[in-house]
Structure 1
Amino acid sequence: MQVTSSLSTALKPTLVALGNFDGVHRGHQQVIQPILQPCKPEITTGSPLLSWQTPLERFNSASFRENLENPADINISKTYATVATFNPHPREFFSGVARKLLTPSLEKVQQLSILGVEQLVLLPFDRELASLSPQQFVEKILVQQLDVKRVSVGEDFRFGHRRAGTSTDLQAIAASYGVDVIIVPLHTTLGERISSSAIRQSLEQGDIGKANQLLGRSYTITGVVVKGQQLGRTIGFPTANLELPPEKFLPRKGVYCVSVADSLVSSPQSLQLGVMNIGERPTVNGTCLTVEIHLLDWSGDLYGKTVTVSLEKFLRPEQKFASLDALKSQIQADCALARAFFSN
């Protein structure tokens, strides 16, 4: 998937899903869906074709079949399924306070690639972009720079100077340029709106089941394995320490059941099961937050590798033990609970 922060290098023409998409959760996926296959390649003839037609429906349509007799009238043009988002987040730009993200850049690229998105455009959010009126944003960014053919947004999308433009404003302005805008209703589950804020709240509470339900997948943490103090080896539980992007949002401190995969290997055989601790290791007088993983029934060298950890269940909060022996006994119990969880 192409990733660019320069509009001049973006692949065009585009079908654009527009928004922040932190988390790439189930609601975001609904906004992204209209720009994916089977909407491309675009086949244009003398008569308009419905944008939601499948390739078979298009082939069977009267206008398409008539033009088969005159190939010169048919133009097949490639369009690129593109997510356009803002970097930095507008709230971060105006507040000057760095935001913790559910999906930092690497993880966002991973999740969008899985969905079939072909291009991620990081619109540099600065004073110039922030000052554009809704009309100017559509004309200068979407039409002139991205050569957009279709836009998909959530119904609560706001844009332009002081967030003056609504999704219906976008639809009306874009129509004057011949661009379709699809407004996707807010997505809910169990009567609750799916949002990045709701996912953060669930993670802060250690409610992994709810967070994963809202995401439509397991919450993941991607980082590089680095050397730690190697204290785990001394009690029989070697751990892999993860170095994470500073902007990564971490859930409640404590112990989790996790599955771990080498980010560069998509084979199911690369998946390993384990337990993960997020915390400051009070038993050994730790002073900084660490993320450590112990893999069940596995040994090897992970140093320098980028791994993706999927959180499956919260086991217990972080606690301080009276001795290393007590800590060892608890880790044994944690591993037993993890085995039981994964065997079900």
Structure 2
Amino acid sequence: MSSDTTTPTLSFSTPDVVSCKDAVIVCGVFDGVHKGHQHLIKLACNQAKQHNKRCIILTFDIDPDELMRPAHSEKLMSNEARLYALEHSGADALAVLHFSPECAALSACEFLDSVFADSAPFAIHVGANFRFGAHAQGDNAFLRSWCEERGIQVCVHELFEGEGGVVSASRIRAALQAGNIQLAELLLGHSYELSARVQHGRAQGRTFGIQTANLHIPPAMMLLPEGVYAARCSVDNTCHAPFYSTCSCKGTWYKAAVSLGVSPTFSSEAACTNAALANCEVHILDFSDDIYNSYVRVHFVAHLRALQRFSSTDALIACITNDIAQVKRLV
């Protein structure tokens, strides 16, 4: 494609990799970078090693659903987290395509022509459900045909199975929405995590000695049911960038009690203030540093209880004290 408005912008994570030419490519969105994705990437890396080639992961800078189906763009990871995880998943480089309305309008043939123009890879690895091009018109049969004409190998892999079924982002999202953190993490192959910048909240907890870090989680990433959870939390008050971005800080992990959703006890107050934006409150045990404007990571361990309205401050404190005792036991 010759038009700058329709040719996707491709950037590489490694300075010495500037092209997909003669490389082993593994393609996908990879939301969650779960066990199925990890397996697919490993297969591509193995072939690259056998043939002394580079393995490159090809993905988009955003999940296409954010643009094409914004009302249905539930996500396991932020884009920053996804790209960071892919960059550290064992491949030689990460190639990131800018997804735009112009990119979305490319036909399957136009998409392949523009991405691999003058840089034919050695092989392309995809999952059995891989689709691409405008309206997802491109399937693996079309990919094989296009690649055969250019002498490119195509490796289509059956979907990875585990815990009684296919491992997929939709299955993991469903597990989280049902509150099944353990199943979600078995399918992910890593902890389920939320991360965000600490912002000012109601400061209500300070009045009774229970300080919280207030986070705003985008609605698309609020998959777990509202409630109180036992968790692990990592924070570094010298770091002011997302952990899954350019930040290299290594924070200490603390036990934490986490409230997801706006507290019913204070909801009428929150609705009238900016505190309504804070839908994740994290009480970090044995921690008292000032961490406003820093990023924290939260790994969820177990659901403790539903959110509830309290008739008095004493009743609220008693319940939170019990929550903290459970966190100490479970985490």
- TM class, shorter-chain normalised? 0.7 to 0.9
**Distance in 2 (alpha carbons) for counterparts of 1:259 and 1:23:** 19
Partner SS state of residue 294, structure 1? strand
Q: In structure 2, what is the Cα distance between the partners aligned to 1:256 and 1:280?
A: 14
Q: Tell which deviates more after alignment, 250-259 or 168-177.
A: 168-177
Please tell me whether the aligned partners of residues 17 and 31 of structure 1 are also in contact (alpha carbons under 8 angstroms). Answer: yes
Alignment of 1:135-214 (within 5 A): 135-141=109-115, 143-144=116-117, 147-214=120-187
Alignment of 1:1-344 (within 5 A): 6-7=9-10, 11-13=18-20, 14-36=23-45, 39=48, 50-51=50-51, 79=54, 81-85=56-60, 87-89=62-64, 91-95=65-69, 97=71, 99-117=73-91, 118-127=93-102, 129-132=104-107, 134-141=108-115, 143-144=116-117, 147-245=120-218, 247-262=220-235, 263=243, 264=247, 267=250, 270-285=252-267, 286-287=270-271, 288=276, 290-342=279-331
Q: Which deviations, in whole Å up to 9, do the C-alpha atoms of 1:158-197 show, x marking residues without a partner?
A: 2234323322431332132222222221112232222211
Q: Which amino acid aligns with 2:128?
A: E
Pairwise CA distance, 1:271: 1.4
- Bigger radius of gyration, 1 or 2? 1
Please report how far the alpha carbon of residue 129 of structure 1 lies from its aligned counterpart in structure 2 after TM superposition.
4.0
Structure 1 segments, 4+ long, off by >6 Å, are none
Structure 1 residues 130, 228: closer, same or farther in 2, change over 3 A?
same
Unaligned 5+ runs, structure 1: 41-49, 56-77
Displacement of 1:92 in angstroms is: 4.5
8 Å contact kept, 1:22–1:101: yes
Aligned-pair CA distance for 1:220: 0.6
TM-score normalised by the chain length of structure 2: 0.81
Tell whether the 8 Å contact from 1:12 to 1:80 is kept in structure 2 after alignment.
Answer: no
Q: CA, structure 1 residues 97+175, in 2 after alignment: closer, same or farther (shift >3 Å)?
A: same
CA distance in 1, matches of 2:141, 2:148: 11
Q: Cα distance, 1:110 vs. partner?
A: 2.7
| 1:73 alignment partner in structure 2 | none
The structure-2 alpha-carbon separation of the partners of 1:162 and 1:283, relative to structure 1 and needing over 3 Å to count, comes to closer
CA-atom RMSD, angstroms? Answer: 2.6
Percent of pairs with identical residues? 29
Kindly state the Cα deviation for residue 100 of structure 1 after the two structures are TM-superposed: 3.0
Separation (CA, whole Å) in 2 of partners of 1:145 and 1:84: 19
How much has 1:95 moved relative to structure 2?
Answer: 4.2
> Against the structure 1 CA distance between its residues 280 and 20, is the aligned structure 2 distance closer, same or farther, given a 3 Å change threshold?
same
Contact 1:274–1:338 at 8 Å: present in 2 too? yes
Local SS of the residue matching 1:320? coil
Unpaired segments ≥5 residues, structure 2: 1-7, 236-242
What do the CA deviations read for 1:31-83 (whole angstroms, capped 9, x no partner)? Answer: 2223437835xxxxxxxxx53xxx7xxxxxxxxxxxxxxxxxxxxxx735223
> TM-score, length-normalised on structure 1?
0.78
